[in-house]
Structure 1
Amino acid sequence: MTAHQAGVGMATDIAEQPAGYARLLDEGAGAIARVAAQIAEWQPKFVLFTARGTSDHAALYAAYLTEIQLGIPVGLVSPSAVTLFGARPRFADALVVGVSQSGGSPDLVEVVRVAREQGAHTLAVTNNAASPLAAAAELHVDVLAGHERAVAATKTYTAELFALLMLIEGVKAGGELPADERAELERIPGLAEKLLADPTAAELAPRYRFADRIVTTGRGYAYPTARETALKLMETSYIAGLAFSGADLLHGPLAMTDPDVPVLAVAGSGPGGESMREVLAKLGERRADVVTIGAGMTIGTPAVDEKYAPLLDILPLQQLVLSLALARGEDPDAPRGLKKVTETL
């Protein structure tokens, strides 16, 4: 038996993400189209997501997609209202979506069960078709990510993003993805492969070796990327990752930024990226240590439509997080005090 080498599991998981995208297109498209067709037939008046941790950031991405692409209002269910306080909201006309890699957290299962009991249509999005969450919901989408080696989620997160994007675009079309949309999605695995071959992000990691806190920021579709990066920094390097939307950053937290507080700013193209220009200018006035992520930025990512950018922007940030943890002498495969499946009530 050989000794465990720190970070090998996370590095392998990260490298498998382009193949995960391709797998969803090749093997998952039919099942996702059938679920999309059913949701389009239901015509929910609003959508409620319930999730924890990394999956909560995937759900946030889906919330932006749902409101922007489908024009349906979105909210987040507070699991404790149902599980701890016994609330039984009236869920008629709603679609309640539970997003979870393992599908095993009792609180999410209970939210979906109660929502269905109270008149909602329900959907589970998981990496485990045999999970309690999948069993509790009317419909299930398998993100087909396969076994994830590291405790810190990487490939399951991006698989959730991609599956939710395919689903919501499918609902918009009434079932199967339109040919032009599928053609755009078929570009993503190749773009991801090239992006992961770029060493820029990993080479920047030593810059933050002694940081106590790092601010992450973005707007719109980029905001989930900022939140997911902050969580990964906390999980793997035990750095205080402080995530803010670009707008919220200007409403107060900007005051804490200075040359000693690094900022990772996701600022791509489109309305969300353009709105970050003011944020970057204000950070410049504060002489903050800023690294930008996006097309033409410090960490360059492909120039794609903003709704696709989260599938790519997170990849170099995962590499940065991995390299930073190793530079600090930590093992990102097995963060202290954490396990792969977290069960909450």
Structure 2
Amino acid sequence: MSMASPGQHMAAEIAEQPAVLAGLVARRTEFAEVAKVIARRPPRFSLLAARGSSDHAALYAKYLIEVLLGLPAGLVSPSTVTLYGARPDLRDVLLISVSQSGGSPDLVEFTETAREQGALTVAVTNTPGSPLDQAAELTAHLGAGPERAVAATKTYSATLLALYLLLDAVRGGDGRDAAGLGELAEQALEASVQRAVDRYRFVDRVITTGRGYSYATALESALKLAETSYVAARAYSGADLLHGPVAAIDEDTAVLAITGSGRGGEAMRHVLTAVSERGADVLALGSASEQVPASVRLPVPSVPEELAPVLEVLPVQNLALGLALARGGDPDRPRGLLKVTKTR
């Protein structure tokens, strides 16, 4: 039996994403059914529970909830329940628990407790029948198929789109803005990352940054680079980057900046001017990447700003894969990492 080549699983799963995203759009009526239940029990506010890449997807959902639904939203700290035994009053609260495996014990316990404490609970997972599914009152499934690589790729983008379809339906939308996302994902994946791989293969320190919806992409980018290529990567909101951390940026720093065509991308312009003046090597990624100072640009198709993170992350995944292979690693088997978060 032949051994799998390095990165084989990650590459295959990255390539599956256009079909996975198109499949989700085709199933948007399923998310609309879940949304109807939420609409019948309108929450005072929403909470989101997640770990790892799913936590970045949850941050994206926080923006969706606050901007599209006009509700306060926050990310929970599961240990308040699992370690400290807190029992908060969650009547008239919507809890969305996000986990591609659906098997994280702390998320399961937090979801069970939240349901007991009065919350309307929704599980967003890639594993039907998982413990998280059973803990929650409502479920929304990704349908992305098994993911063999340790680094989440197709389950991450699928989670973003599933959350968008769900929350768009809650506000009364029909998901029409996402209709062509599968084809646009193909275009985003066609963009060559080779120049970026060649330029940054020896980099030791990377700052990733973005604003608004795209801050989630900055966080996911840092995680992908760290877990596949062992790069010291740190994510900052563009606003926070200028409040102190910019002092550590110099000509030895690579900055991966998410620059879309919406308000978040517009707010990044003065940030990139500042880091460029400090000599940073900027890789601009996004639908507005041609409009900012940068050494390398990775454009993606333009979509409504609230959907941009679904496409922005795709070239990042290819970049992480390419850098890992160029540095002699195997992103399918990163050192010391597990697929399922087992924290309690």
Q: TM-score range by the shorter chain?
A: over 0.9
Cα separation, 2, equivalents of 1:305 and 1:121: 29
- SS of the residue aligned with 1:4? coil
Q: Please list the CA deviations of residues 252-310 of structure 1 after superposition, one character each: whole Å capped at 9, or x if unmatched.
A: 11111111010000011121111101101101110110111112421111122111110
TM-score (norm 2): 0.96
The offset of 1:206, in angstroms, is 2.3
Aligned to 1:148: 147
The one-letter amino acid of 2:286's match is: G
Cα separation, 2, equivalents of 1:118 and 1:341: 26
The one-letter amino acid of 1:224's match is: A
Aligned to 1:48: 47
Residue 279, structure 1, aligned to residue 271, structure 2: yes
Aligned to 1:268: 260
The offset of 1:195, in angstroms, is 1.6
Aligned to 2:187: 194
The one-letter amino acid of 1:293's match is: L
Residue 10, structure 1, aligned to residue 10, structure 2: yes
Cα separation, 2, equivalents of 1:202 and 1:36: 42
Aligned to 2:294: none
- SS of the residue aligned with 2:268? helix
Residue 305, structure 1, aligned to residue 310, structure 2: no
- CA change 1:276–1:299 in 2 (3 A) is same
Deviates more, 1:202-211 or 1:70-79: 202-211
Aligned to 1:124: 123
Match of 1:288 among 269, 273, 280: 280
Residue 245, structure 1, aligned to residue 237, structure 2: yes
Cα separation, 1, equivalents of 2:35 and 2:92: 17
Deviates more, 1:302-311 or 1:319-328: 302-311
Contact 1:202 1:319 in 2 (8 A): no
Cα separation, 1, equivalents of 2:287 and 2:120: 39
Cα separation, 2, equivalents of 1:323 and 1:84: 40
- SS of the residue aligned with 1:47? strand
Contact 2:217 2:312 in 1 (8 A): yes
The offset of 1:59, in angstroms, is 0.5
Cα separation, 1, equivalents of 2:287 and 2:159: 23
Q: Please list the CA deviations of residues 170-225 of structure 1 after superposition, one character each: whole Å capped at 9, or x if unmatched.
A: 0000xxx43xx42x2111111111121121x2331122222222000000011000
- SS of the residue aligned with 2:89? coil
The one-letter amino acid of 1:84's match is: L
Structure 2 matches for 1:77-88, cutoff 5 A?
77-88=76-87
Cα separation, 2, equivalents of 1:98 and 1:7: 30
Structure 1: 5+ residue runs without aligned partners? Answer: none
Cα separation, 1, equivalents of 2:179 and 2:148: 26
Match of 2:205 among 204, 213, 223: 213
The offset of 1:6, in angstroms, is 0.2
Aligned to 2:167: 168
Cα separation, 2, equivalents of 1:29 and 1:53: 25
Cα separation, 2, equivalents of 1:113 and 1:321: 36
Name the count of aligned residue pairs. Answer: 337
The one-letter amino acid of 2:212's match is: G
Cα separation, 2, equivalents of 1:305 and 1:122: 28
Deviates more, 1:335-344 or 1:318-327: 335-344
Q: CA RMSD in A?
A: 1.0
Deviates more, 1:131-140 or 1:207-216: 207-216
The one-letter amino acid of 2:23's match is: R
Aligned to 2:293: none
Deviant stretches of 4+, over 2 Å: none
Residue 337, structure 1, aligned to residue 336, structure 2: yes
Contact 1:217 1:223 in 2 (8 A): yes
Structure 2: 5+ residue runs without aligned partners? Answer: 290-296
The one-letter amino acid of 2:302's match is: A
Contact 2:261 2:288 in 1 (8 A): no
The one-letter amino acid of 1:14's match is: I
Cα separation, 2, equivalents of 1:162 and 1:9: 22
Aligned to 1:19: 19
The offset of 1:30, in angstroms, is 2.3
The one-letter amino acid of 2:155's match is: T
The offset of 1:338, in angstroms, is 1.2
